[in-house]
Amino acid sequence: MKSTAFFNVTERKKTMMPEQNKGPLAKPSAEEGQPALPLILDTERLFGNAREIHLSHRGEIYRLRITSQQKLILTK
């Protein structure tokens, strides 16, 4: 089974988040006095076997899909 890692953007290296922070809605933690790191989601984990997902943002539905060339397209 392939392990899923979150990426620490500031250090540019793979770091595993604590067990309770794993999952598509995990919030990155920051040390006291430091800004929170950006949340990075792995698309394989987010999409699963699907090629398209729908996102709700401020009452609007957006469509995020993977193209045949493995690119992401977000449309309203």
For 6-14, what is the mean pLDDT? 41
Q: Which domain holds residue 8?
A: 1-41
4 and 34 together in one domain: yes
Contact 41, 28 (CB under 8 A): no
Enter the tokens of residue 34.
């430091």
37 and 60 together in one domain: no
pLDDT grade, residue 29 (50/70/90)?
low
Q: How far apart are the first and last CA of the chain?
A: 34
Pick from 51, 17, 47: nearest CA to 6: 17
55 and 30 together in one domain: no
Tell me the C-alpha to C-alpha distance, in Å, between residue 8 and each of 18, 28, 38: 13, 9, 8
**Domains contained in the chain, number:** 2
26 and 57 together in one domain: no
1 and 23 together in one domain: yes
Q: What is the pLDDT of residue 9?
A: 43
29 and 5 together in one domain: yes
The answer, yes or no, to whether residue 7 has pLDDT greater than 90, is no
